[in-house]
Chains A and B, each alone.
Chain A
């Protein structure tokens, strides 16, 4: 269990981390999410006493600096290539093991576990980012710690590496360990995390479970197509709390029909409405009662990605500009193209089923 209380850090006039308070509970993976420059790394550095700042972080009630051999209790990796370029992977870990009273045979175990056995006696200066990340994870697991703090561990891993990392972190969490892992990529977190701490510009945006994040930052909308869309819109607008938007007619509905000499317009799709604040069933009923013909009636749930953009959109530190002309293509909440559905619900493991033991 990690308890962070009022974490605060300022660089000159700029507040990097603004009084963050959160808990990271054992038995699950807690994702730490935010756009680039949101203060994720600084927060982690504050937690580990690497940076001076305000606030306090307790690991099972103790401050980091008071733990005798922190590597045996907290495995942390903040930078992906934090090793001497000519000291072998094995020696790098042996050095840290020596500093933490960890037996050297544990070094070979963790290297085997992360799949670096073949290169353990090689100089890491030629390691790819993915290999460096694996070495970082080996370093974090060296002391068989109850708590893991990882900054962007999936960065640079290939898809199978990411899958492996996800499985590893989930199984470590299932053993009752506390896992705090940062990322700026949503899909990654969606598949990995049970809980989320989302920050933007150093301030808390959301702290809770993944589904709740989607609920809070997306509004499910209903897409309705009807030849009598205008009439239906009139009726819907009279209902309390309902908002109705006309969906612009898609210009790309013109398709080329095979065999025809010229592009032929298919029968124009009926006008569409995007409705929020009302269930699909209620819309259907309303239409039925008023003799309105419906061509389509569909609920659209925003993806986690959309929720993330909605939540952090106002807080991005470095805003890039859209390519002129395609600015409208920026993701809108709940567009049909909005990507995969929200994260599959992950059954939170019971905090009681802690199984202390080897990570490997």
Chain B
């Protein structure tokens, strides 16, 4: 296992896209954190604003999660796109071990980068905060670890999608289209009374449920469908289960199919 992890470590750090994606991700989240912190410098800081600053606006647009998911997609998708799966498997023929090493290495990277990003954002915020929000009290005490779990799950989902589709483009499409279009569409359809039976299922839409991990307040229908999500960690569990299913199917097919 340690060889497989070392392999993955060298693979990850010898790819220029790793640095680009992390760099742009950190730049965007830092820019958002700075912008919001600067704009609210004279206001009494609310938990919502503090949440947006700390997570670099993840509740609005989860940039870091998306970019680390792309790093995850590259971990498996590149192997097929560039035919390196053949030399990789002649070095590490144990496929379960190889996929596990990819998941672990990408997950560790995602966790470390998220922690770094949060630290940068808190540092930026503290430059402007008149009276610092209590990071040890709810909701921030839950949003910060929730954010790390959220980004890690996205990154693992990337690895799983890249493995499932054995390539980069289809995995990217799923990653971007499902949360943005499919889930929004299902939620919108449930507003019609003929389709209101969809509403109890809405809390199980994986990406919407996953977003509860970084929510600073309770779900506000705001004209949308009226329903209640599960709690923060239960909703995170729904998203984690979705990621686990995709990973399990990808793993099963990886074991079964020709490389």
**In contact, A98 and B94 (Cβ under 8 angstroms):** no
**In contact, A52 and B10 (Cβ under 8 angstroms):** no
Which of A48, A87, A88 gathers most chain B CB within 10 Å?
A: A87
Q: Is B204 an interface residue (CB 8 A)?
A: no
Nearest chain B CB to A176 CB, angstrom units: 22
Given known A-B contacts A52-B257, A69-B3, A84-B15, A100 and B82 have beta carbons under 8 A apart: no
Q: Is A127 an interface residue (CB 8 A)?
A: no
Residues of B within 8 Å of A78, CB to CB, are 86
Nearest chain A CB to B96 CB, angstrom units: 11
**In contact, A98 and B90 (Cβ under 8 angstroms):** no
- Mark B residues whose CB is within 8 Å of A: 3-4, 6-7, 9-11, 14-16, 78, 82-84, 86-94, 256-259
Residues of A within 8 Å of B257, CB to CB, are 52
Residues of A within 8 Å of B87, CB to CB, are 77, 82-83, 96, 139
**In contact, B3 and A87 (Cβ under 8 angstroms):** no
Q: Is A274 an interface residue (CB 8 A)?
A: no
Contacting residues of chain A (60-84) with chain B, CB-CB under 8 angstroms: 64-65, 67, 69-71, 74, 76-79, 81-84
Alpha-carbon separation in the docked complex, A74 to B83 (Å):
19
**In contact, B15 and A71 (Cβ under 8 angstroms):** no
Alpha-carbon separation in the docked complex, A356 to B15 (Å):
36
**In contact, B258 and A99 (Cβ under 8 angstroms):** no
Query: Closest residue to A104 on the B side, CB-wise?
Result: B10
Q: Is A177 an interface residue (CB 8 A)?
A: no
15 further contact pairs, Cβ within 8 A, besides A84-B82, A98-B7, A100-B91: A45-B258, A49-B93, A50-B259, A67-B93, A69-B3, A78-B86, A79-B86, A84-B78, A91-B10, A96-B88, A98-B6, A98-B9, A99-B10, A99-B88, A139-B87
Q: Is A345 an interface residue (CB 8 A)?
A: no
**In contact, A82 and B3 (Cβ under 8 angstroms):** no
Alpha-carbon separation in the docked complex, A23 to B256 (Å):
27
Alpha-carbon separation in the docked complex, A324 to B112 (Å):
69
Contacting residues of chain A (301-351) with chain B, CB-CB under 8 angstroms: none
Nearest chain B CB to A207 CB, angstrom units: 25
Residues of B within 8 Å of A249, CB to CB, are none
Q: Is A277 an interface residue (CB 8 A)?
A: no
**In contact, B90 and A48 (Cβ under 8 angstroms):** yes
Nearest chain B CB to A44 CB, angstrom units: 10
**In contact, B7 and A82 (Cβ under 8 angstroms):** no
Q: Is A269 an interface residue (CB 8 A)?
A: no
**In contact, B92 and A99 (Cβ under 8 angstroms):** yes
Nearest chain B CB to A219 CB, angstrom units: 41
Given known A-B contacts A87-B14, A98-B3, A98-B9, A65 and B84 have beta carbons under 8 A apart: no
Contacting residues of chain A (13-63) with chain B, CB-CB under 8 angstroms: 45, 48-52
Query: Closest residue to B12 on the A side, CB-wise?
Result: A95
Count how many chain A residues have C-beta atoms less than 8 Å from C-beta atoms of the other chain.
35
Query: Closest residue to B11 on the A side, CB-wise?
Result: A95
Chain B contact residues, majority secondary structure: helix
Given known A-B contacts A70-B90, A99-B92, A101-B3, A83 and B82 have beta carbons under 8 A apart: yes
**In contact, B84 and A84 (Cβ under 8 angstroms):** yes
**In contact, B14 and A96 (Cβ under 8 angstroms):** no
| Across the A-B interface, the 7 shortest Cβ-Cβ residue pairs | A99-B7, A91-B14, A98-B6, A99-B91, A51-B258, A82-B83, A95-B10
Nearest chain B CB to A144 CB, angstrom units: 14
Alpha-carbon separation in the docked complex, A76 to B94 (Å):
16
Nearest chain B CB to A55 CB, angstrom units: 15
Alpha-carbon separation in the docked complex, A50 to B16 (Å):
28
Residues of B within 8 Å of A51, CB to CB, are 258-259
Alpha-carbon separation in the docked complex, A48 to B259 (Å):
11
Nearest chain B CB to A112 CB, angstrom units: 20
Alpha-carbon separation in the docked complex, A76 to B88 (Å):
11
Q: Is A85 an interface residue (CB 8 A)?
A: yes
**In contact, A50 and B86 (Cβ under 8 angstroms):** yes
Q: Is A86 an interface residue (CB 8 A)?
A: yes
Contacting residues of chain A (88-117) with chain B, CB-CB under 8 angstroms: 88, 91-92, 94-96, 98-101
**In contact, A82 and B258 (Cβ under 8 angstroms):** no
**In contact, B3 and A50 (Cβ under 8 angstroms):** no
Alpha-carbon separation in the docked complex, A70 to B97 (Å):
14
Selected contact of A95 from candidates B7, B86, B89, B258, CB within 8 Å: B7
Nearest chain B CB to A86 CB, angstrom units: 6
Query: Closest residue to A86 on the B side, CB-wise?
Result: B16
A-B contact pairs, 18 of them (CB 8 A): A49-B89, A51-B258, A51-B259, A52-B258, A69-B3, A69-B91, A74-B90, A78-B86, A79-B83, A85-B82, A86-B16, A95-B7, A95-B10, A95-B14, A98-B6, A98-B10, A99-B4, A100-B92
Residues of A within 8 Å of B3, CB to CB, are 69, 98-101
**In contact, A96 and B91 (Cβ under 8 angstroms):** yes
**In contact, B92 and A82 (Cβ under 8 angstroms):** no
Residues of B within 8 Å of A45, CB to CB, are 258-259
Nearest chain A CB to B148 CB, angstrom units: 27
**In contact, A82 and B91 (Cβ under 8 angstroms):** no
Selected contact of A82 from candidates B4, B11, B14, B82, CB within 8 Å: B82
Given known A-B contacts A69-B3, A84-B15, A52 and B90 have beta carbons under 8 A apart: no
Residues of B within 8 Å of A69, CB to CB, are 3, 91
Residues of A within 8 Å of B83, CB to CB, are 79, 81-82
Residues of A within 8 Å of B4, CB to CB, are 99
Alpha-carbon separation in the docked complex, A51 to B257 (Å):
7
Nearest chain B CB to A235 CB, angstrom units: 61
Alpha-carbon separation in the docked complex, A50 to B80 (Å):
13
